[in-house]
Structure 1
Amino acid sequence: MYDFITDIHSNSTAVRYKRNQLKKKIVYRMNSSGPQTIPLLSRELKISMPSVDRLIKELIADAFVEDMGEGPSEGGRKPHQYKIKPSSYYSLCLDISISEVKMALIDFNNGIHHPIKTHFKRLEDNQEYVEWLVSIIELFIIESAVSFSKISGISIALPGLIDPDKKVSRSYFTQLEPNLWDYLQIKLNKEVLIDNDARLMTRGEHVFGLAAGKNDVLCINVGAGLGMGMILNGQLYRGNTGSAAEFGHIKSTNSSLPCYCGQEGCLETIISGPAMEKNAMAELSKEDISAIRKITEADDKSFYEGILDFAKQGNASCKKIIQDTGHELGLGISTLIILLNPEMIIIGGCFAGTGDLIINPIKQAMLSIPVQKFAEGTEIVTSQLGHQAVLLGAHVSLIQHLFKDVM
């Protein structure tokens, strides 16, 4: 890691520390706001243009920043624009679900550098699974051809109850010694952050997606499970112990099915990828099931994603499965609207980009409950970020951790 990012005040002179803090501020502004000019940085950081010029030259010499050439005129001579060099540093981000693991390298310009890699393996609450996780991370780094020294840290999305500040997972790997954070950090020799997958999806949407600039947003993540994150008053809301917004484990009057959490009748048992798969086995023809399996195996997709693909293509039985799922989701969303009165609800995960296919049955279900007066001004949309939302949120989490002292 470049020393100006990891530099600690107690280990450096006051002059060096101040200089490194200014470099961090410059890099963070480039990460959060895009290309910068020397006059703009001078105004924002309240330091002289010659000082900014010297800092920029040092960052260029460090191969961290690059000159983009002349930008738009700010009145007079056109200033040069500078941005973070894409190959300078990366976040290694993982999205672990009940049935699969997605991995991506994301550069400090917020671009996904390496194709997203997916491994299909059921999440197991044991040390063997964690050791497998370490092995696929190491292999992914080797295959990416990115120098290990350029990976700034590892940020992981995990389902279940997680308190990232206390490094506590209450759902998985509770018996692992040392805790999951420290175990992975020792094995991989990188700083490791872990947070709930739906909350990281919400971070991704709030920075890069439809929730950008909004103050009160609910993000619902439908996939191997059912999760939710909340932006309240412009901030990610975690609750007292980090377990707020466990939407998937609210009881449903329409289900008595057992849930992995130990309860019966959780919303997740009827609104999730596995729930759609169970319905498909009962409602689809053998020919349709065989066709979906053939396509999903060839494309490295889960079976429930294949159901969605067939529904988009007009398959009536698959469309009915989506409509039934949307109806149950709409009933649950009605309660959320009455409780929280959000300005936007984003449906993500496997339903990202499905538009009216899922939105229409949600709205139809809401008509059966008198929520219209509560729902005025609440927009219900599907995510445009797709599966990238969780990975981008994991990246945001790591960036904010690295630059927290200059934000």
Structure 2
Amino acid sequence: MGQPTFFEELNDENIGGVAYKNLNLKKKILAYFTQHNDATIADLARELNASTPKVTHLLNDLLQEGLVNDYGKIDSTGGRKPNIYGIAPDAGFFVGVEVKKFHINIGLLDFKRNLVKSMEKIPYELQNTAASLDELCSIISRFIDELSVPREKIMGMGVNLTGRINYATGYSYSFFHFNEEPLSKVIESKVGIRTFLENDSRAMAYGEFSSGTVNQEKNVLFINLDHGIGLGILINGQLYYGKSGFAGEFGHIPFFNNELICHCGKKGCLETEASGQALVRNFQAKLREGFSTVVMRKHKQPDQVTLDDIIQAANSDDTLAIELVAEIGEKLGKGIAVLINLFNPELVILGGSLSTTGDIIRLPIKSAINKYSLSLVNNDTQLMLSRLGEKAGVIGACLLVRNKLLSLA
């Protein structure tokens, strides 16, 4: 038998001794390349605090496996010109899966953050049943089977779910909590790819932080405006998880004095009046009262109207849709004003399906922020729309997996 490959060592739970140390150094080399694009052997030796012969040996292993490219000589002030090295884009790949209430987004990212293939809005209904979990795994498996990339080059997969997710243990406490085994391990056994679980809002936030709207900002809030309301938090350049990975339950702040029962079982949550599901409920109630809208050209009954229908109507200048989206925006803005007073962020990003209504929801949110937050605090805060849209969660999931696999064990 020959020397095991980087991928084989990465998945070997029993690796130890010199092989373990070398694997960690290789991971450090790849991690350095992901952050700095390229480097010389001298750069790597200095960064890793390792000898030049050691770095040269490990780099040669990575070169032979096609994980690293030699990009030739660079200009030097004198003496021998050193070679510069960088990660090969096709060294490894990552699958990202974003599970929404009524669809799935899925994509393949290479080592240099290029989205090689993506599929958006694959029809799927998220239900807390074994059949729904099986369907999810089947959709993922079909996507992977149809890729031109060999399975062994897929280093890992990130799956985003709504609700309470413990990213460290791989348990979901909101969906598919049927087994003693972590959900990440259940999906991994069904699909055959190393799997990591993440909260959907946090993964979307990380996609925007890494490849989207964020430039130099270090303190950022990402608001996921969908059927529910989620929050991703970046503090001093780092994702904030809380003790068990449950930080960011913005939608479940007891904000209203009402008798509406949230899906979490409590009354008066922000989600009950300021979310996509609240918008659908309000819109359907207006239809029953006899209000006119272009949406009813498509449906015969109010109960058939979906959130996507309302968003499409608002973007087509439908008066009822615009008015109700603006009402949601005003309530959301009041809630976001609380977050701004608490966190004093540089940037607030609006993402998720409701953000696709653009200024229809952004302007009432901005107006409410100005009304309810402290002016000295909100003067420092920009309010922007997501740049990545439906791709945010997929890209975030892939990059978070890449980070986990390249971090030291």
- Range class of TM-score, shorter chain: 0.7 to 0.9
The Cα of 1:309 is off from its aligned counterpart by 4.5
The Cα of 1:350 is off from its aligned counterpart by 1.9
The Cα of 1:390 is off from its aligned counterpart by 1.7
**Alignment-derived partner of residue 136 in structure 1:** 139
Partners of 2:134 and 2:219 lie apart in 1 by 39
Aligned to 1:390, the other structure's residue is in SS state: helix
Correspondences of 1:100-179 after superposition (within 5 Å) = 100-179=103-182
**Alignment-derived partner of residue 320 in structure 1:** 323
Asked whether the 8 Å contact 2:7–2:155 carries over to 1, the reply is no
Partners of 1:390 and 1:149 lie apart in 2 by 24
**Alignment-derived partner of residue 244 in structure 1:** 247
Question: Are 2:403 and 1:400 equivalent residues in the alignment?
Answer: yes
- Residue among 54, 57, 63 paired with 1:60: 63
- Residue among 373, 376, 400 paired with 1:373: 376
Aligned to 1:231, the other structure's residue is in SS state: strand
User: CA 1:310–1:292 in 2, change beyond 3 Å: closer, same or farther?
Assistant: farther
Asked whether the 8 Å contact 1:67–1:81 carries over to 2, the reply is yes
**Alignment-derived partner of residue 262 in structure 1:** 265
User: CA 1:256–1:98 in 2, change beyond 3 Å: closer, same or farther?
Assistant: farther
Partners of 1:161 and 1:365 lie apart in 2 by 29
Aligned to 2:389, the other structure's residue is in SS state: coil
The Cα of 1:270 is off from its aligned counterpart by 2.9
Asked whether the 8 Å contact 2:341–2:373 carries over to 1, the reply is no
User: CA 1:255–1:347 in 2, change beyond 3 Å: closer, same or farther?
Assistant: farther
**Alignment-derived partner of residue 97 in structure 1:** 100
The Cα of 1:405 is off from its aligned counterpart by 0.8
Partners of 1:139 and 1:9 lie apart in 2 by 28
Asked whether the 8 Å contact 1:101–1:119 carries over to 2, the reply is yes
Structure 2 unmatched ranges of 5 or more:
none
Question: Are 2:85 and 1:88 equivalent residues in the alignment?
Answer: no
Aligned-partner residue type, residue 140 of structure 2: I
User: CA 1:314–1:401 in 2, change beyond 3 Å: closer, same or farther?
Assistant: same
Partners of 1:335 and 1:228 lie apart in 2 by 13
The Cα of 1:341 is off from its aligned counterpart by 2.1
User: CA 1:360–1:75 in 2, change beyond 3 Å: closer, same or farther?
Assistant: farther
Aligned-partner residue type, residue 10 of structure 2: T
Partners of 1:353 and 1:65 lie apart in 2 by 39
User: CA 1:10–1:317 in 2, change beyond 3 Å: closer, same or farther?
Assistant: closer
Scaled by the length of structure 2, the TM-score of the pair is 0.84
User: CA 1:168–1:277 in 2, change beyond 3 Å: closer, same or farther?
Assistant: same
Partners of 1:134 and 1:385 lie apart in 2 by 25
**Alignment-derived partner of residue 10 in structure 2:** 6
Partners of 1:22 and 1:81 lie apart in 2 by 18
The Cα of 1:331 is off from its aligned counterpart by 0.9
- Residue among 196, 217, 222 paired with 1:219: 222
- Residue among 316, 333, 345 paired with 1:330: 333
Asked whether the 8 Å contact 2:222–2:232 carries over to 1, the reply is yes
User: CA 1:20–1:158 in 2, change beyond 3 Å: closer, same or farther?
Assistant: same
Scaled by the length of structure 1, the TM-score of the pair is 0.85
Asked whether the 8 Å contact 1:222–1:273 carries over to 2, the reply is yes
The Cα of 1:265 is off from its aligned counterpart by 3.0
Asked whether the 8 Å contact 1:354–1:382 carries over to 2, the reply is no
Partners of 1:404 and 1:264 lie apart in 2 by 41
Asked whether the 8 Å contact 1:331–1:366 carries over to 2, the reply is yes
Partners of 1:319 and 1:264 lie apart in 2 by 27
Aligned to 1:116, the other structure's residue is in SS state: strand
Tell which deviates more after alignment, 215-224 or 32-41: 32-41
**Alignment-derived partner of residue 297 in structure 1:** none
Q: Cα RMSD (Å) of the superposition? A: 3.1
Asked whether the 8 Å contact 2:98–2:105 carries over to 1, the reply is yes
Partners of 2:278 and 2:389 lie apart in 1 by 20
Correspondences of 1:170-189 after superposition (within 5 Å) = 170-189=173-192
Aligned-partner residue type, residue 193 of structure 1: F
Partners of 2:258 and 2:84 lie apart in 1 by 57
Aligned-partner residue type, residue 31 of structure 1: T
Partners of 1:74 and 1:27 lie apart in 2 by 24
**Alignment-derived partner of residue 365 in structure 2:** 362
Asked whether the 8 Å contact 1:353–1:384 carries over to 2, the reply is no
**Alignment-derived partner of residue 209 in structure 1:** 212
Aligned to 2:117, the other structure's residue is in SS state: coil
Aligned to 2:372, the other structure's residue is in SS state: coil
**Alignment-derived partner of residue 275 in structure 1:** 278
Correspondences of 1:17-32 after superposition (within 5 Å) = 17-32=20-35
Partners of 1:17 and 1:160 lie apart in 2 by 36
**Alignment-derived partner of residue 287 in structure 1:** 294
Aligned-partner residue type, residue 224 of structure 1: H
The Cα of 1:139 is off from its aligned counterpart by 0.8
Aligned-partner residue type, residue 68 of structure 2: V
Structure 1 unmatched ranges of 5 or more:
294-301
Partners of 1:225 and 1:54 lie apart in 2 by 51
Partners of 1:118 and 1:59 lie apart in 2 by 37
Question: Are 2:238 and 1:231 equivalent residues in the alignment?
Answer: no
User: CA 1:93–1:211 in 2, change beyond 3 Å: closer, same or farther?
Assistant: same
Tell which deviates more after alignment, 306-315 or 93-102: 306-315
Partners of 1:279 and 1:34 lie apart in 2 by 50
Partners of 1:57 and 1:305 lie apart in 2 by 52
Asked whether the 8 Å contact 1:98–1:123 carries over to 2, the reply is yes
